Amino acid sequence: MSSTWSWLGSSSKRIGCMRPAARKAGQGRSAETWTQDVCTGAGILSGMYTGRTGRSRSVRPADSTPLPQMRTAMKKAQYEQRGPVPQDVIQAVEFQTPPLAAGQVLIEVLASPINPSDVLTLTGEYGLLPPLPAVGGNEGVGRIAEVGPEVTNLKPGQTVLLPIQGGAWATHMVAPAKHLIALPDGADPKQLAMITINPPTALLMLSDIVELQPGDWVIQNAANSAVGTYLIQLAKLRGLRTINVVRRESAVEAVRAAGADVVLVDGEDLGKRAREAANKAPIKLGIDAVGGLATQHIAQSLAEGGVVVNYGAMSGEACQISPASFVFRDVSLRGFWLSRWFQTATPARRAEVFGEVTKLIATGKLQARVQATYGLDQIKEAVTAAAAGERDGKILVLPNGPV
């Protein structure tokens, strides 16, 4: 039996897989039903194709009368070079997908976020860079528009998670059906579009760096970022308490509204204020996405033997920590990169993490703020907004209009 969860596993067990009876009947799944099917799997999302210039496709929603053939302009946000101003190198261009081969499906892209890694990819500063020309966007959600020959595990109208291989900023893409994950019906596509990168990053930094128990304190900066917001919610679900650091006073209320226990504005005396906020209880884990002196401020907040984990450099500066923190207080600094975790995690662990994340998002227990949405023709404006500071939510691309 084929599995729509092949990116998470090549074993016979699957997570979120449709029950054979429901699949045979062509039925969708509610979030409640879907979350009862969590099991195990392995692998990584892969196998995406985007073509060159516009094409028409007939689209048949699930369990409905086929729509008449109609002409639709397909577009993708493409860049042929990289440069210091990310919005200057990308533009929307028309393209055409090839006829579907056996085992392939045509996906209508519903939503895709613009992450910091996407911006760094456009400037050439990210750790993995695709060959040029390339299409932007590394995660998202779409709807099956057409299935090719020999596809039995998916049907038109189903919502699926896009493969992690770039090219999400497009109206359509072609992908192997076996590499796609069918998502539950009824969940917000905008929230589903953000499943793949930021939620597992937040979850893994809470679970894989330091052994934490309910009631323990964690401190993080960039708390108003998407990862920061997810981390606040996940920590609360686990009984952990959070000290959340922001760089401006105007961000405090939004972070507090997300469920933060304590919100502080960064500064030279952050360590003293953080320890007071925790009533001098030991703070074992510090999470840093800013770099520069902000890393030192997090380190100064930690108890002896505490760990700082860095996953970004929003300041554009290298992490700075005084030798005194290393030598006299045994504080350590390490990094986290989700791409590397994908390479080293066991199949069962990957299945566990993404099963938990998707269940929480599908049932509304884990959400990220969305500041603004843009159409594909507004890709330059969207990238400009995503690259700017002082945002209080995610920037999303909606290639086929509002969802």
What residues are labeled active site? 126
* DSSP strand pairing (134-135 vs 181-182): unpaired
Q: Which residue has the tokens 């060959």?
A: 131
H helix intervals, 304-378: 323-329, 338-344, 347-362
CA–CA separation, 145 and 23 (whole Å): 17
What angle is formed at CA 224 by the lines to CA 220 and CA 228, rounded to 5 degrees? Answer: 45
- Are the C-beta atoms of 250 and 390 separated by less than 8 Å? yes
Q: Measuring CA to CA, which residue among 201, 361, 167, 391 is closest to residue 288?
A: 201
Cβ atoms < 10 Å from Cβ of 40? 20
Strand, coil or helix: what is 89? coil
User: Which one-letter amino acid corresponds to residue 377?
Assistant: D
Q: Measuring CA to CA, which residue among 114, 118, 191, 189 is closest to residue 368?
A: 191
Q: Which residue has the tokens 């226990």?
A: 261
Bridge partner residues of 79 (DSSP):
90, 134
Strand, coil or helix: what is 372? strand
CA–CA separation, 333 and 288 (whole Å): 10
Q: Measuring CA to CA, which residue among 383, 372, 390 is closest to residue 118?
A: 383
CA–CA separation, 34 and 106 (whole Å): 23
Q: Which residue has the tokens 């986290």?
A: 336
CA–CA separation, 266 and 263 (whole Å): 10
